[in-house]
Amino acid sequence: MLVLLAWFVDVKSAIALLKKTDWRWLALALLVVQLQIVLSALRWKITANRLGQRLSRARAISEYYLATFTNLSVPGGVVGDAARVFRNREPGDQGISIHSVVLERLSGQIALVLVVVVGWSLWPWLMDRSMPQEAMQLIGTTFIAVALIALTFLCLLRYAPDRLKTPILGFQKAAYFVWIADRQWLLQGALSVGIVFTYLLVFWLCSYAVDAPLPLAAVLTLVPLVLLSMLIPITVGGWGIREAAAALLWPLVALTPEAGVVSSIVYAGISWLGCLPGLLLVLSSRSRTHRG
C-alpha cells in the first residue's frame, strides 16, 4: 500500500519534509506516548479489578508496553492483546482476563468513534463551511454499523443456542460491572476520551515536527478518522491505510497529501519508539528472574 501511495504523492516533496524534522517536537511527542500507555494500562487495571482479576499497577503498565509494541510490530494489531490475556490468566479465570482486555480495548474504540462523530458534527462551526458529503456518509455509516452490531447482539441473546448464549451473557454481565454499575461509565468515559486526546496530541506534535502544522479543527476532525482507519486489522501497525487516509484527508484543510503522509509516518515511528522503554523493562525483569 505504501508503494502504491508513492504513485500518488510527490516523493521528493515528502522526503524534503522529513529532512526538516524538528527533534524537539518529537521529544515532546515521545513524552506524551508514555502518558498514553500509562493511562491505557490504568484503564485496564481498573477494568480487570472490577471483574475480580488481581492486576497490580506495575504489572498492568509493563504488560501494556509489551502489548502495544507487539500490536505495532506484527500483522493484525491484536496479537499483543491476545498475549495480555494468556500472560495474565489465573487458575479458575473463567474468561475474566479475556473480558477485561476486550472491554478495555472496546472502551477506547467507542471513545474514538464518539470523538469522530462529535468532531465532524462541529465541522460547520470549526471550518465555517458545510460538511463534505463524504463526512456525512461516514457518520451515517458509523451509526448504521453500531445499530447493526447492537441488533446482532440482541438477536443472539434471543435466538442463539444455549452454548452461545452462556458466553454472551457472561460478557454482558462483565460489561455491566465495568461500565454501568457504580457509575463506572463516568470514570471509563473520562479515561477513554482523555486517552484518545493523547493520540490526537501526538499526531499534532508530529505535524509540527515536520513543519506542516495542523490547525486545531483538523486535529479534531481529520486525525480521529486517520486513527479510526488503523482499526482495520489487515496491516502491520496501520502502515499503508493510515498514510493513505491522511493523504486523502489533508487537502480538506488546504494541506498537501505529502504533508499528511509524512506526518503519519513520523507519528507511526514515534508511537513505536515510545513503547521501547517499557519493553526494555519487561526484558530486564525477565532476565533478572532467569538469573534468580
Q: Which three cell numbers stand for residue 153?
A: 447482539
Average pLDDT on 133-153 reads 70
The ranges assigned to domains in the chain are 2-291
Write the DSSP symbol of residue 215.
P
Average pLDDT on 14-19 reads 78
Average pLDDT on 247-256 reads 88
Tens digits of residue pLDDT in 97-119: 889 999 999 999 999 989 988 88
pLDDT, position 137: 67
Spatial neighbors of 82 by CB under 8 A, at least 6 apart, are: none
pLDDT, position 100: 92
CA distances in angstroms from 30 to 17, 34, 259, 274, listed in the order given: 20, 7, 20, 6
Of 33-37, 121-125, 243-247, minimum mean pLDDT range: 121-125
Position 287 confidence tier, pLDDT thresholds 50, 70, 90: low
Q: pTM (2 decimals)?
A: 0.86
